[in-house]
Amino acid sequence: MNRTKEPSFRESVDMMYSRAVAVMDLPPGLEEKIKVCNATYTVRFGVRLRGQIQTFTGYRSVHSEHMEPVKGGIRYAMGVNQDEVEALAALMTYKCALVEAPFGGSKGGLCIDPRQYDEHELELITRRFAYELAKRDLIHPSQNVPAPDMGTGEREMAWIADQYRRMNTTDINAAACVTGKPINAGGIQGRTEATGRGVQYALREFFRHEEDKAKAGLTGTLEGKRVIVQGLGNVGYHAAKFLASEDGAIVTGIIERDGALVNPDGLDVDAVHAWIAKNGGVTGFPDAKHVSEGATVLEEECDILIPAALEGVINLTNADRVKAPLIIEAANGPITSGADDVLREKGVVIIPDMYANAGGVTVSYFEWVKNLSHIRFGRMGRRQEEARHELIVSELQRLSQNLGDAWTMTPDFKAKYLKGADELELVRSGLDDTMRKAYQDMREVWHSRDDVDDLRMASYIVAITKVAASYRAKGL
């Protein structure tokens, strides 16, 4: 193995793909067809800002249209480039297949540091970018449906949806042209937290399997497990918050752009998040040691490492020194292909990006379905469900009275049982089911095949099998 040269992000994804297809039996030529990126559109456009025209460069890449629409986020970051967008689009193809979201893979990006612009300027830039993409059907409810990614959120998605609607005034399904919108603009409950929530559900499912925990040398539950997270943005913040507040994990390290915070007794995730929002970084946060070379904290002792910022952070320069026995890739591509080899040799268990951060696209799928059906989940059935539960509870109470009040229900049970599921509960249920099912599909391959010794390879095999079946159904 050549450990001196690091491949690009796209090459890294392709190498992981090739490792999996080498043990699969795909028809001749299909291996190459699935791997290649179908098309990447590059746009350069000008926006008049601060008295002069500024030129921006953006991309929308379509990796595979074996199912349509294609789906994938739009990233705002200075490092955006064609290679990165194509790697992320390929991951979207495999991710959607793995979690059975009926989409092909796509991704977009704009070379911009959003922190350098005020809200009005960002709106002008976003609307212009959306215009350029929408007029080529690269934003379209049945062709290409973007979502948030690094540097974008529901605000940008609302601008994109509005821009599309202005250009397609008679399209009754206009709201389905983009997901991750705010609730008042056609969004769905639970989308903002969805990717972080999915990371939590993925870890819960992993911890349900003794055999899998044993491979990482871990025992017990998430309670008391030491967690280090890199990137306290949308994904990292929600994952860390839920793991700490709902599962009893201890967040001992948080790595951000301006260094890392370390506290073996646990960091208050909400307090750190609020500090970053107010001060622009983690520097100065009390009750923790500040490490100015933040990335070195990736190498600290912990039980679970959650890279949730950007790609390539665990690479050939530091993989040898990573001590975590379990890494869950909340970000896309945080481990390079070379580092993946090093970590596997060390026996580290990696829950791969394609699965780990699929919560976002899963709930985006629910939002898209909601937009196309023009009705909120739970609206038709909730009260009917409550009425039926009420019937059972009153009948049980009547029977109990007949027996001289032999048994009574705990008030908590009654209140919980009588409450019908609202949209948020249905979204969480659907997400939990998706994360459990996809994990079980992966581990089935992981444990049943002698030629598969890690979850990443298993995830590719499950995903590629499904994409190949779609191609075959199309007669290819």
User: Which residues would be at the binding site for ligand NAD (CB under 6 A)?
Assistant: 148-151, 195, 230-236, 255-257, 294, 308-310, 330-332, 357, 360
* Euclidean distance between CA atoms 96 and 101, whole angstroms: 5
Amino acid code (one letter) for 340: D
CB closer to ligand NAD out of 21 and 59: 59
Helix intervals (H) in 175-268: 194-206, 210-215, 234-247
* Euclidean distance between CA atoms 432 and 425, whole angstroms: 10
CB closer to ligand NAD out of 218 and 285: 285
Amino acid code (one letter) for 450: D
CB closer to ligand NAD out of 324 and 331: 331
Q: Report DSSP letters for 281-347, one per residue.
A: SSTT-SSSEEESSGGGGGGS--SEEEE-S-TTSB-TTTGGG---SEEE--SSS-B-HHHHHHHHHHT
The three-class DSSP label of residue 142 is: coil
Q: At what angle do helices 82-98 and 9-21 cross, to 10 degrees?
A: 40
Tell me the closest approach of the beta carbon of residue 396 to ligand NAD, in angstroms: 43
Tell me the closest approach of the beta carbon of residue 263 to ligand NAD, in angstroms: 17
CB closer to ligand NAD out of 309 and 322: 309
**Catalytic residue (choose from 71, 95, 107, 241):** 107
107 assigned to active site: yes
CB closer to ligand NAD out of 171 and 268: 268
Contacts for 404 with CB less than 8 Å, ≥ 6 apart: none
* Euclidean distance between CA atoms 35 and 471, whole angstroms: 13
The three-class DSSP label of residue 136 is: coil
Contacts for 286 with CB less than 8 Å, ≥ 6 apart: none
Tell me the closest approach of the beta carbon of residue 257 to ligand NAD, in angstroms: 5
**Which residues are the active-site residues?**
107
